[in-house]
């Protein structure tokens, strides 16, 4: 998409899609502290404008997975309040000024707690650390970065979405669970759900082993709450993650997609945070079996239609992803798109197009 983006956007619009999520890579826009790459800004501007021209409303993400090394390592990144104020907020402001007339909405920090978990607890994403203190600092700092960015964007009357990765959580295995397993389940539930939900509900930020901060100004920072959901997770006796259920069919990432669990999650969220507007901000499966992808997509649509008929406030659904590309875990060996790398629409893409076709 980086080269033939206009054609790719036209192909996605051909399916009947109305909105698209795009990431603005900070390291490209500011490769060194204070050195702004104007050519990169112009390139992204061309991409975002092309999406608009194709009839796709762009939702722009400012941070997803990676940060500039100079910011995250040399300047301590989101973990440092001074760095958030000195580098992050000016970056948010520049992007808002440059792309504001084209953006439909903004995601400041994609899944802030998930980013901290992968980077500082599991160690499977940059910077690849496993440090309890750095992890807790990263959780608080990333949430702070997301909220203050949303506040800054709101001053320009921009629409914002809080995107959170929220799997449903179970104890792994079929035998009666031990106290250790239950404690680990509670730990994962705290970080993947309770911490950020409590903030949006009451302004109480309670991070285990850190204490409680009262942030009432955070309650109403976002216009939408976006949920990233691919599958439930099982938690083992040692606190590790496992597929759930163990006997289910696994995707190429090793987990078991269950569309009905997306329905469980949405019902739980609307109970926990009533009177909010929700979106499914990312949902898909890593597999080369497109017939299975279509089957899962049909089941997902059925779940969402049933919930909407019951009055659930669901404002939108983003499929992850549109066109096959490189995947972090499996490279080019798996697929997530509705369209293949040769730009052929798959059966799952045709199915979605049939749903979106005018009647």
Q: What is the pLDDT of residue 177?
A: 73
| Highest CATH level, class, for 160-359 | alpha beta
Dihedral of the alpha carbons of 318, 321, 327, 333, in degrees to the nearest 10:
140
Rg over alpha carbons for the chain, rounded to the nearest Å, is: 20
Q: What is the pLDDT of residue 228?
A: 98
The domains of the chain are located at 1-159, 160-359
Q: What is the pLDDT of residue 332?
A: 87
Q: What is the pLDDT of residue 174?
A: 66
CATH code of 1-159, in short, is: 3.20.20.80
Are β-strands 161-165 and 224-228 bridged in parallel, bridged antiparallel, or unpaired? parallel
pLDDT of residue 157 exceeding 90: yes
Asked, colleague to colleague, whether 1-159 and 160-359 share their fold, the answer is yes
Percent of the chain topping pLDDT 70: 98
pLDDT of residue 178 exceeding 90: no
pLDDT, average across residues 288-305: 98
pLDDT of residue 1 exceeding 60: no
Predicted TM-score (pTM) of the model is: 0.96
pLDDT of residue 161 exceeding 60: yes
At residue 173 the predicted structure's pLDDT band, cuts being 50, 70 and 90, is confident
Could you tell me which of 113, 5, 15, 23 has the C-alpha nearest to residue 60? 23
Q: What is the pLDDT of residue 6?
A: 97
Which range among 109-113, 120-124, 289-293, 328-332 shows the weakest confidence by mean pLDDT? 328-332
User: Do 118 and 124 form a contact (C-beta atoms < 8 A)?
Assistant: yes
Q: What is the pLDDT of residue 328?
A: 75
At residue 330 the predicted structure's pLDDT band, cuts being 50, 70 and 90, is confident
pLDDT of residue 329 exceeding 90: no
The per-residue pLDDT for range 299-325, each reduced to its tens digit, is: 999 999 999 999 999 999 999 999 999
Q: What is the pLDDT of residue 176?
A: 60
The per-residue pLDDT for range 79-102, each reduced to its tens digit, is: 999 999 999 999 999 999 999 999
Whole-number mean pLDDT of the chain? Answer: 95
pLDDT, average across residues 202-224: 95
pLDDT of residue 3 exceeding 80: no
pLDDT of residue 135 exceeding 70: yes
The arrangement of strands across the sheet holding 57-63 comes to 19-23, 57-63, 105-109
The per-residue pLDDT for range 40-81, each reduced to its tens digit, is: 999 999 999 999 999 999 999 999 989 999 999 999 999 999
pLDDT of residue 265 exceeding 80: yes
């Amino acid at each position: 998409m980086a080269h033939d983006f206009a054609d790719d956007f036209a192909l996605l619009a051909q399916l009947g899609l109305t909105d698209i999520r795009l990431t603005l890579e900070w390291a490209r826009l500011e490769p060194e502290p204070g050195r702004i790459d104007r050519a990169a800004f112009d390139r992204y501007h061309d991409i975002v404008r092309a999406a608009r021209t194709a009839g796709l409303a762009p939702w722009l993400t400012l941070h997803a997975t990676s940060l500039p090394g100079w910011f995250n390592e040399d300047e301590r990144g989101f973990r440092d309040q001074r760095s958030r104020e000195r580098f992050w907020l000016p970056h948010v402001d520049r992007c808002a000024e440059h792309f504001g007339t084209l953006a439909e909405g903004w995601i400041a920090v994609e899944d802030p707690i998930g980013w901290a978990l992968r980077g500082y607890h599991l160690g499977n994403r940059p910077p690849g650390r496993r440090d309890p203190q750095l992890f807790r600092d990263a959780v608080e700092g990333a949430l702070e970065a997301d909220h203050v960015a949303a506040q800054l964007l709101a001053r320009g009357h921009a629409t914002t979405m809080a995107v959170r990765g929220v799997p449903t959580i179970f104890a792994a295995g079929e035998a009666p669970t031990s106290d250790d397993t239950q404690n680990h389940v509670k730990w994962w539930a705290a970080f993947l759900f309770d911490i950020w939900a409590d903030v949006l509900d009451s302004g109480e930020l309670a991070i285990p082993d850190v204490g409680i901060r009262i942030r009432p100004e955070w309650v109403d920072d976002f216009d939408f709450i976006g949920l990233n959901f691919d599958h439930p997770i099982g938690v083992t006796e040692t606190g590790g993650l496992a597929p759930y259920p163990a006997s289910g069919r696994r995707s190429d990432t090793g987990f078991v997609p269950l569309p009905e669990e997306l329905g469980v999650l949405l019902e739980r969220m609307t109970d926990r945070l009533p009177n909010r507007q929700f979106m499914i901000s990312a949902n898909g499966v890593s597999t080369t079996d497109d017939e299975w992808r279509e089957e899962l997509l049909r089941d997902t649509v059925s779940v969402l239609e049933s919930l909407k008929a019951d009055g659930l406030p669901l404002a939108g659904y983003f499929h992850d992803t549109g066109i096959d590309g490189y995947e972090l875990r499996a490279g080019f060996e798996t697929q997530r798109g509705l369209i293949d790398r040769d730009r052929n629409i798959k059966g799952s893409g045709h199915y979605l197009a049939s749903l979106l076709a005018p009647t």
